[in-house]
Amino acid sequence: MFVLVLADDLIWSTRLVTQVRATGAEAAPVRTLAGLGEGLPAADAVIVDLTARAYDGIAAIQAAADVGRRVLAVGQHDDAELRRRALAAGAERVLAYRKLFDDGPATLAAWLDGAPSRAEGRT
């Protein structure tokens, strides 16, 4: 399982990549939409930080969903409108930062358990 983590904040990017790796999956950070586009062919799933300044998180979700990748979004717990937009764009779930801070590896492992790997024939 290979997961791209799109986050422009170095602390959250590092934290998310570390949490994905703690599940036994491989992970790579990207910081821009261009980086996401380059990495999507090899990715099984994508995590998108919605509060970025360097890219549009909704556009990133849409780009990943459009090529059949599962997407998990993370963001502020109190931004209901952004959460709705993320789900409409193709995110399976939108989790609050606090959830991942408190219980990241277990939460991510549960989400990843439902993601088929590209080696299993997913296109």
Residue 102: pLDDT band (50, 70, 90) is confident
123 assigned to some structural domain? no
Query: Mean of the pLDDT values across residues 98-117?
Result: 82
Secondary structure letter of residue 41 according to DSSP: G
Query: Mean of the pLDDT values across residues 85-113?
Result: 92
16 assigned to some structural domain? yes
Amino acid at 78: D
CA atoms within 13 A on the CB side of 100: 29
76 assigned to some structural domain? yes
13 assigned to some structural domain? yes
* Token couple for 122: 């997913």
Residue-wise pLDDT for 2-47, tens only, equals 999 999 999 989 999 999 999 999 999 999 999 999 999 999 999 9
95 assigned to some structural domain? yes
- In angstroms, the CA 5 to CA 17 distance is 7
122 assigned to some structural domain? no
Q: How many domains would you assign to the chain?
A: 1
CATH of the domain at 108: 3.40.50.2300
Residue-wise pLDDT for 40-85, tens only, equals 999 999 999 999 999 999 999 999 999 999 999 999 888 899 999 9
31 assigned to some structural domain? yes
120 assigned to some structural domain? no
Amino acid at 27: A
What are residue 64's phi and psi, to 5 degrees? -70, -45
Query: Which pLDDT belongs to residue 121?
Result: 37
Residue 87: pLDDT band (50, 70, 90) is very high
Q: What residues make up the domain containing 78?
A: 2-115
Q: Does the structure show a pLDDT above 60 at 117?
A: no
